[in-house]
């Protein structure tokens, strides 16, 4: 994915980006201060992107005028982030630091951020509960947390449709949701499991969405060659995202939560 605001690149992240944009707008309004004459002034938010890599979300968020700190263990990803932010003209609003979710407060401020992104992190950390607790602890009062993680149902469906029925069943019964030793994903979640982790971290869930319900199943050539197919698929993804039946077979799950 290169940029959630570009139509073709947004196919797999459109739902997350739209939800995140709305959440940022609401949080900015809530943090607005009163100026002379009683007119509200909505200042830039402080956003922490844990595991933000090369800035897939950080750079578009910075384009909205917010200040983003990206924490990632990969020096190469942080180098790409710096280059990408410069190309987008937001280098002054994006800061990259090397670190991980477990040692988050070695490089980030506890309770110092209006919004925290935890995208593609919980699948890889040794202790997802601890990683999520740290992400929650980085929030200011009334702050917003965005969590994106691999969904179990989508993997089971994909293996079954590919004719790998034994692997599909293995993913269903494996404690980590893996279909075998060759599975590149260390861990997957159901919506209930992810929601329980979020609430255990002391946050209140505002919304749960299924992401990439259809995008990974539709042949790319169809989307690229059929007139209007991309827009129609994006609209379908958005329509299905909040429906429980489709959430359960999504490739990814997105949880938006707030610190009380």
d(CA 91, CA 74): 19
The per-residue pLDDT for 8 is 46
pLDDT at 39 over 70: no
Q: Residue 10's pLDDT band (boundaries 50, 70, 90)? A: low
Secondary structure of the chain: what % helix, strand, coil (to 5)? 40, 20, 35
Report the distance separating Cα 137 and Cα 133, nearest Å: 6
DSSP 236-252: HHHHHTT-HHHHTT-SE
pLDDT at site 219: 78
8-state DSSP, 91: G
Strands of 87-225 (E only): list them: 94-98, 113-119, 139-150, 203-211
Residue 179 has pLDDT above 50, yes or no: yes
Q: Which pTM does this prediction carry?
A: 0.89
d(CA 101, CA 129): 11
| Residue 173 pLDDT > 90 | yes
CA distance 260 to 254: 19
Render pLDDT for 184-221 as a digit per residue (tens, 0 to 9).
999 999 999 999 999 999 999 999 999 999 888 887 77
Region 226-239: mean pLDDT is: 87
E strand or H helix at 195, and its extent?
Answer: helix 191-200
Question: Looking at the predicted structure, is the pLDDT value of residue 1 above 60?
Answer: no
Q: Is it the case that residue 7 has pLDDT exceeding 60?
A: no
Question: Does 9 score more than 80 pLDDT?
Answer: no
For residues 129 and 200, is the Cβ–Cβ distance under 8 A?
yes
Whole-number pLDDT of residue 115: 97
Res 12 pLDDT > 80: no
Q: Which pLDDT does position 2 carry in this prediction?
A: 39
Write down the pLDDT at residue 234.
87
């Amino acid at each position: 994915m290169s940029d959630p605001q570009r139509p073709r690149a947004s196919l797999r992240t459109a739902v997350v980006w739209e939800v995140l944009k709305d959440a940022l707008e609401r949080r900015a309004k809530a943090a607005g201060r009163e100026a002379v004459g009683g007119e509200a002034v909505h200042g830039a938010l402080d956003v922490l992107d844990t595991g933000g890599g090369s800035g897939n979300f950080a750079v578009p968020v910075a384009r909205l005028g917010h200040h983003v700190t990206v924490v990632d263990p990969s020096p190469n990803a942080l180098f790409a982030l710096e280059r990408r932010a410069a190309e987008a003209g937001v280098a002054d609003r994006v800061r990259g630091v090397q670190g991980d979710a477990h040692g988050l407060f070695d490089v980030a401020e506890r309770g110092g951020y209006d919004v925290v992104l935890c995208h593609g992190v919980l699948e890889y950390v040794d202790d997802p509960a601890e990683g999520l607790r740290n992400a929650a602890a980085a929030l200011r009062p009334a702050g917003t947390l965005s969590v994106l993680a691999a969904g179990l149902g989508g993997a089971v469906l994909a293996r079954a449709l590919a004719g790998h029925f034994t692997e599909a069943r293995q993913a269903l019964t494996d404690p980590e949701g893996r279909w075998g030793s060759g599975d590149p994903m260390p861990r997957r979640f159901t919506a209930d499991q992810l929601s329980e982790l979020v609430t255990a971290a002391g946050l209140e869930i505002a919304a749960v969405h299924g992401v990439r319900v259809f995008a990974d199943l539709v042949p790319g050539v169809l989307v690229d060659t059929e007139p209007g197919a991309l827009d129609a698929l994006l609209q379908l993804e958005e329509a299905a995202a909040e429906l429980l039946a489709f959430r359960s077979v999504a490739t990814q799950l997105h949880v938006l939560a707030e610190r009380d």
